[in-house]
Chains A and B, each alone.
Chain A
Amino acid sequence: MATDAAAANIVNLSASDRGELDRLFDRILTVHGAALRRLAAAYTRTESDRDDLLQEIAIAIWKALPGFRGDCSERTFVFRIAQNRSIAFLARAHLRRRASAEQIDVQDPSPSVETGMVQEQRAAGLKKAVQRLPLPYRQVVVLLLEGLDYSEIAEVLGISAANVGARLTRARQMLRAEMEKAG
């Protein structure tokens, strides 16, 4: 008997509304899909976890769309949902890791010898360094790297812009140190 208001919203939509919702959802996936995938990768350790999280984010966006009234930008709306689902996923992923009692290595996305471009190697190093950051710093760094400004990050996370600045200063130091450590 779990009444889900979001599910009820979608059930109550008319066919034309649902068609509009379909189109909006497709557009969001096209425009923000790559960013969502990168964000999911920052919070997960394996490709299958990343895909699971990405699916959860997509479903949460789909469920929240009927309630989206444009009181914030579409990008803020999408990233809020993505951040929130990632937090919920982290809480559950922690349980799964503890249950299996095994340490899962971070997937090494290093490029193959054939495609060993410098940028790909740097990108792989950056991704690993981001994954190692403590959660509060990882949150702001991921959003910054996706191109959000301080006020948008503050809006997504529900903290002040001053706090975003403080976190980012520390996060960038940590990120630099992580990347130097990785050599």
Chain B
Amino acid sequence: MNLDTELEVWRQDWQSESAVFTGLRQKVKRQSRWMRIVLVADILITIAIGGSVIWSAFRSPGADRFVLAGATWIFLVTAWSFAIRNNRGHWSPSASDTLSFLDISIRRCQRRLAAVPFAAALFLSEVVFCLIWNYHHSPEWHSSLAWLLFGSVAFLFFGFLFWYRDKKRAELGCLLNISRDLGETTQD
């Protein structure tokens, strides 16, 4: 068979399958709404937490309340500045060519892995601060219940963090393999 005739037959066969879309538009709209919610949720949570500690400090003034408000804001600013710095320049434009997209996907994956030890350190600092603060300022927390609560939250948090780290490591491995395959073929 002539090469171009062969290609023409393949194209006709390939394109013979038509598509019926049911609900795709609605799904995209739902996802779009969800994106907007997630985008404002981070900001709202920051305002709620940061605002409530400041409100509490001014409502019942005392050194302990100001320490709590100050420490909370230090944690919030640390988290935000790390997130902004870690994401800077790594937003992946979906519409760039495949090799560029792959490259940026790999770097994003590496940045997310770098965020894991940071998240662990920040969480530990917060827990230690909370335990010390509660020990000195909230007698009702001098019970095994407090330790149980903090222990459970820490267990869940670190469980999630290890799962996330393993998932991202495996994803990075896959992306590097794909990149190597495509790179080798590009050099042929």
The number of residues on chain A lying at the interface, defined by a beta carbon within 8 Å of a beta carbon of chain B, is: 73
Of A95, A119, A146, A167, the residue contacting B185 (CB under 8 A) is A167
> Which residues in A have their C-beta under 8 angstroms from that of B91?
4-6
Of A6, A64, A137, A145, the residue contacting B14 (CB under 8 A) is A145
Contact with A along B24-38 (1 / 0, CB 8 A): 110110011001101
Q: Within the assembled complex, what's the spacing in Å between the Cα atoms of A63 and B38?
A: 14
B39, A7: Cβ atoms closer than 8 Å:
yes
Could you tell me which residues of chain B, from 83 to 115, have a CB within 8 Å of some CB in chain A?
Answer: 83-84, 87, 91, 93-102, 105
- Let me know if A151 is at the binding interface, CB within 8 A: no
Could you tell me which residues of chain A, from 41 to 78, have a CB within 8 Å of some CB in chain B?
Answer: 41, 54-55, 58-64, 67-68, 77
B87, A3: Cβ atoms closer than 8 Å:
yes
Q: What residue of chain A has the Cβ atom nearest to residue B80's Cβ?
A: A1
A58, B24: Cβ atoms closer than 8 Å:
yes
Minimum Cβ distance to chain B for residue A131 (Å): 12
- Let me know if A159 is at the binding interface, CB within 8 A: yes
Taking Cβ atoms with an 8 Å cutoff, the residues of A that contact B are: 1-8, 10-11, 25-26, 29, 33-38, 41, 54-55, 58-64, 67-68, 77, 80-81, 83-85, 87-88, 90-92, 94-95, 98, 119-120, 122-123, 126-127, 130, 134-137, 139, 144-147, 155-159, 163, 166-167, 170, 172, 175-176
Supplied contacts A7-B35, A87-B102, A95-B167, 10 more A-B pairs, CB within 8 Å: A1-B79, A3-B87, A34-B15, A62-B31, A64-B94, A87-B101, A123-B14, A136-B185, A157-B98, A175-B10
